[in-house]
Structure 1
């Protein structure tokens, strides 16, 4: 994207801001809670924040689909429905982004990252995205940012039923199968069943039972994920994806009721999925380890979680609040590959169970007009039972203090401080200093600097020594430092953000060969860049949106090798240019929209290192049409990847070509 184009967009946005500033009654009242742990407007929050509403999730199979258009945020996918979906913010790894559900962490202590594919979308009220390090408030893993998924709590007295069908264009293709010690190719004919590849049935109930609000939702998904794509790298023909099927369902329920001056809420979720595990698309077969793809490997995922929370704006006094959460989570991942792997002749049958019990509490004290105290902490116990690392436990906790100083009617300075302890790695002190200057009723200038950290995973610490690989119990947490300066304009029909930032990562955890292949603290990288996003209502019912991210990366140390800035060694999955644009038109009960996403060239790992490949840039165009025939029922038509692009979000995992989706929804 040229500098001239960027300047034109910014000039257009600035002109719109001047016009819109005359009427400030609309979006200024949008309330967010994630950036400071206390309710406030987007203008008053000290970070670059994006809010995704529940309406934007209509027709989505997962929460990740609604996050792809946010500036500075990228979604990595292992393919189709049911595959792992993870987030990156400003070039971070997935394990450096903390994902919360109603303020409770989703990140897995065994593996580190959070998989958004396990989250049902039917009961999501909104999603708040906070960019930049936030460990000073939330502890481990918030180096790149925080994504807080807030679910529905209040009853709306309705029942909703929806059905979605996804179709791929049938075509003749090649199927690659295992025939150890090699691979074989087989031609398969086009199948009309590709038009019925994916179905998702969802139901949601929202009703009042006396003073109790009951909000429940459930879904069932079946997908063959048998699309064909042009594989120019290995077969030189259209190739069918095999063993990527999905069968699963979920159920979520929430009970909320008033208690005193506050609100008590009990929420639970259970889900189960059976998923094929096709592996990467390489047809190469290693004589020792066998094929990297599989036609019969599979996995099963089970998730159960329950949370009891209580919040009140007045606790014991008018100047004191309380927000508390007690939660339990159980997850199980089982993986089987019945084929012996090459000469080692080792079939795989692994199981990993994780039990998590946690308590979080925070309070805000506002006795003084110019000063507010926010403090709290958390306690977390994680127990792993794994066929790979055995039985392991982690006990961790932390305390934080935040104190906004209202220095004047237009200037707020907020220092934040937190200390965390863990049973299996050294403690970490994190901090953040943020400032917000209100230049007018519609424009805020924001600046912040912070230190954050990521905890080593239990796999990193305790992977057993098998003579080839081993964990490292002496690992230190990764450290991250970031600073940003930006401006937010918010008025009737307009939201504009422009932020410049820099991230520095130290002691990055990388698997490297020492006396054995194991994780060590050797990674170091610098990420400067800027991001801009715009939402603008031009005419009644006509809305445009655009986001652009410029991200440069400099690897300073990797796998024991030092680099200089002048070497310009790029980090993995950090495209220099990313652009999103959308147009939505609403007339009466009809809504039509089109959305484009461009992702520039990037590397699968550190540039120039063994095994790193270059991934081509891609442009994906999607369109959606929604028609409500009455207040009770509506239909949705959607075309995805209209340009029929062959691309990969993650190296070795192809994304579908052109597909069509039809949905119907009934509300009673």
Structure 2
């Protein structure tokens, strides 16, 4: 990859986009986020690179999975193995798929055995919003947050009295979906309950052979079913004490192609609670506790093969001290215990981690400054120290300069350490250093942001062909650019972004200089939406992604592709809406993992009721 390609393409995109979008913009309400600093702030004031996806965005885009939502988000690459309900990996800023910390309602989720989060099994109808923070956050959260954080919040309920909601739809591949919910939110309390289901016959997930891809030949349709429910409730007492509890359970069954297993029964469950209280004006206490489960029973046909169940218990105590008008000190401690129950004989099946951290946010002479430091004490790996620093400065009233630095680490998974016959108990945690520089601003024609970054990862864990086990043999250097522009032109709302990536393997092995696998080096997304009169809405999404490689050796290349989606909505009355979308209008054939098919042209329609 040519080293000059990132800035050259970025400048071309920025120049073209800014000239096209020179029109009056519709500035929307500023979203409030909590993930970047573990304290409430607007996305605009954050020093981090963030993206917020709201419930309104989900329904406007008519997204049917988290994969739909995340594909084309700045800095994010998606790899999917055959459609709905199939294994989905998310890469952020070129880091590994297990270098992203995923939370649901402040509770860490994911499998302790594989290190992955089953995004494909998280029901989209249960989601209120998603906060995506790009860049390292280990100095606040500990292990995993090398590439960034994805924080999912379940639905909390709308203001007003008791409100039901309902949705039902169907489409191509024998797909049926439905959801029903009930919410109530008053001045002091709130309650939301929601249930959803999906069933699809799917399509043939894999076109591999006995020697490639899924290492089998099963030209059948691979279906998926999921039933999920969630509940969230809270109350604010007269003395200022606020409590919030949430529960989500998702159970699914997916079929795929494989020679060892070809069917899995999956379940995810998250139970958590938060208590907030201010004993004095300058001191606010947050206590967060919860448990997440990730269960998988695997079959070959009807024959049971294996079980991997993991439980993660977490407790966090946060203390926010307001030191002055422009200073906030956060001091906290975390406890985490991971436990594995499996049919495989793991010689170690649990481990504990304690973490303590401090963060100082201050504004001094227009300079916004953030400093953070964390110490983790892991039962197996001992002490790890990570830190972060951020700086922001308003160059003008509408333009802000930003700079960030962060160190991070990722503890090896139980599979990498203890899976019988294919593990290495001597693995070290992966370490990283990241640097980021950016600017963001707003003008009469809209909002924009530009960021460049570089990440160095040491002790990267990869499969060692000599020992048939993982080893700390790799290093990586990742450079990237992200540009985002949002504007409105003659009633059309446009949102566009460009991501450029140079993820290079820097190991001393034969793969030195190769591109890390399954990361698209270029990604461009353009969304356009408009309402016509009182009843009609139209929208479109154009996604273009460049070539990528499927393997470390860079011998198997996946072609670039362009995908175009259309969506429409008819407002029947104040409470009822009819939605429809055509995905992959031009029937583009593409793969994000070698030999695994992606949906062709398909249709979906849904009716929604929301008072």
1:576 paired to 2:518 = no
Separation (CA, whole Å) in 1 of partners of 2:561 and 2:11? 23
Separation (CA, whole Å) in 2 of partners of 1:17 and 1:416? 38
Q: CA deviation at 1:49?
A: 1.1
1:71 paired to 2:36 = no
Deviations 1:301-350 (A, max 9, x none): 122321111124xx1110111222110123321001159xxxxxxx7610
Q: What SS does the aligned partner of 1:29 have? A: coil
Separation (CA, whole Å) in 2 of partners of 1:432 and 1:228? 42
1:635 paired to 2:591 = no
Query: Mean alpha-carbon deviation: is it higher for 504-513 or for 206-215?
Result: 206-215
Question: What residue in structure 1 maps to residue 198 of structure 2?
Answer: 221
Pick closer, same or farther for the CA change 1:248–1:15 going to 2, 3 Å: closer
Separation (CA, whole Å) in 2 of partners of 1:302 and 1:370? 45
Q: CA deviation at 1:209?
A: 8.3
Separation (CA, whole Å) in 2 of partners of 1:348 and 1:525? 39
Separation (CA, whole Å) in 1 of partners of 2:212 and 2:507? 33
Deviations 1:529-584 (A, max 9, x none): 21111111123x311111111111221116x4473xxxx42111222211111211
1:392 paired to 2:349 = yes
Q: What SS does the aligned partner of 2:371 have? A: strand
Question: What residue in structure 1 maps to residue 372 of structure 2?
Answer: 416
1:159 paired to 2:110 = no
Aligned equivalent of 2:231, options 244, 253, 272: 253
1:499 paired to 2:502 = no
Q: CA deviation at 1:276?
A: 1.1
Question: What residue in structure 2 maps to residue 451 of structure 1?
Answer: 407
Separation (CA, whole Å) in 1 of partners of 2:200 and 2:233? 31
CA contact (8 A) 1:507 1:522 kept: yes
Pick closer, same or farther for the CA change 1:375–1:3 going to 2, 3 Å: closer
Separation (CA, whole Å) in 1 of partners of 2:49 and 2:401? 11
Separation (CA, whole Å) in 1 of partners of 2:201 and 2:23? 51
CA contact (8 A) 2:88 2:118 kept: yes
Separation (CA, whole Å) in 2 of partners of 1:231 and 1:510? 24
| Aligned pairs for 1:163-312 within 5 A | 163-167=168-172, 194=173, 197-208=174-185, 212-226=189-203, 242-259=220-237, 260-279=239-258, 291=259, 297-312=262-277
1:319 paired to 2:267 = no
1:114 paired to 2:117 = yes
Separation (CA, whole Å) in 1 of partners of 2:454 and 2:482? 11
Aligned equivalent of 2:595, options 638, 652, 661: 652
Q: CA deviation at 1:622?
A: 0.8
Aligned equivalent of 1:407, options 324, 344, 364: 364
1:545 paired to 2:495 = yes
Question: What residue in structure 2 maps to residue 35 of structure 1?
Answer: 36
Aligned equivalent of 2:141, options 138, 142, 150: 138
Aligned equivalent of 1:97, options 92, 97, 100: 100
TM-score normalised according to structure 2 size = 0.91
Q: CA deviation at 1:11?
A: 3.5
CA contact (8 A) 1:360 1:378 kept: yes
Separation (CA, whole Å) in 2 of partners of 1:557 and 1:661? 46
1:585 paired to 2:541 = no
Pick closer, same or farther for the CA change 1:41–1:210 going to 2, 3 Å: closer
Pick closer, same or farther for the CA change 1:366–1:19 going to 2, 3 Å: farther
Separation (CA, whole Å) in 1 of partners of 2:36 and 2:125? 25
Q: CA deviation at 1:432?
A: 0.9
Gaps of 5+ in 1: 168-193, 280-290, 340-346
CA contact (8 A) 1:27 1:492 kept: no
Separation (CA, whole Å) in 1 of partners of 2:22 and 2:325? 32
Question: What residue in structure 2 maps to residue 618 of structure 1?
Answer: 561
Aligned equivalent of 1:329, options 256, 267, 292: 292
Question: What residue in structure 2 maps to residue 175 of structure 1?
Answer: none
Question: What residue in structure 2 maps to residue 182 of structure 1?
Answer: none
Q: What SS does the aligned partner of 1:372 have? A: strand
Separation (CA, whole Å) in 2 of partners of 1:251 and 1:613? 41
Deviations 1:205-228 (A, max 9, x none): 112489542101111111110369
Separation (CA, whole Å) in 1 of partners of 2:250 and 2:79? 22
Question: What residue in structure 2 maps to residue 288 of structure 1?
Answer: none
Q: What SS does the aligned partner of 1:605 have? A: coil
CA contact (8 A) 1:509 1:519 kept: yes
Question: What residue in structure 2 maps to residue 601 of structure 1?
Answer: 547
How many positions carry a matched residue from both structures? 596
CA contact (8 A) 2:460 2:473 kept: yes
Pick closer, same or farther for the CA change 1:51–1:266 going to 2, 3 Å: same
Separation (CA, whole Å) in 2 of partners of 1:522 and 1:228? 32
Runs of 4+ displaced beyond 3 Å? 1-9, 11-20, 25-29, 154-157, 208-212, 227-235, 490-493, 560-563
Q: CA deviation at 1:496?
A: 0.8
Pick closer, same or farther for the CA change 1:652–1:359 going to 2, 3 Å: same
Q: What SS does the aligned partner of 1:278 have? A: coil
| Aligned pairs for 1:335-374 within 5 A | 335-338=298-301, 349-374=305-330
Deviations 1:440-461 (A, max 9, x none): 3432111011111111001111
Pick closer, same or farther for the CA change 1:202–1:493 going to 2, 3 Å: farther
Deviations 1:616-648 (A, max 9, x none): 111111111111111121111111111111111
Question: What residue in structure 2 maps to residue 524 of structure 1?
Answer: 475
Q: CA RMSD in A?
A: 2.8
Separation (CA, whole Å) in 2 of partners of 1:230 and 1:475? 35
CA contact (8 A) 1:426 1:477 kept: no
Q: CA deviation at 1:241?
A: 5.4
| Aligned pairs for 1:40-55 within 5 A | 40-55=41-56
Separation (CA, whole Å) in 2 of partners of 1:125 and 1:32? 13
Pick closer, same or farther for the CA change 1:577–1:155 going to 2, 3 Å: closer
Separation (CA, whole Å) in 1 of partners of 2:565 and 2:351? 44
Pick closer, same or farther for the CA change 1:441–1:322 going to 2, 3 Å: farther
Q: What SS does the aligned partner of 2:349 have? A: strand
Question: What residue in structure 1 maps to residue 153 of structure 2?
Answer: 150
Question: What residue in structure 1 maps to residue 505 of structure 2?
Answer: 555
Gaps of 5+ in 2: none
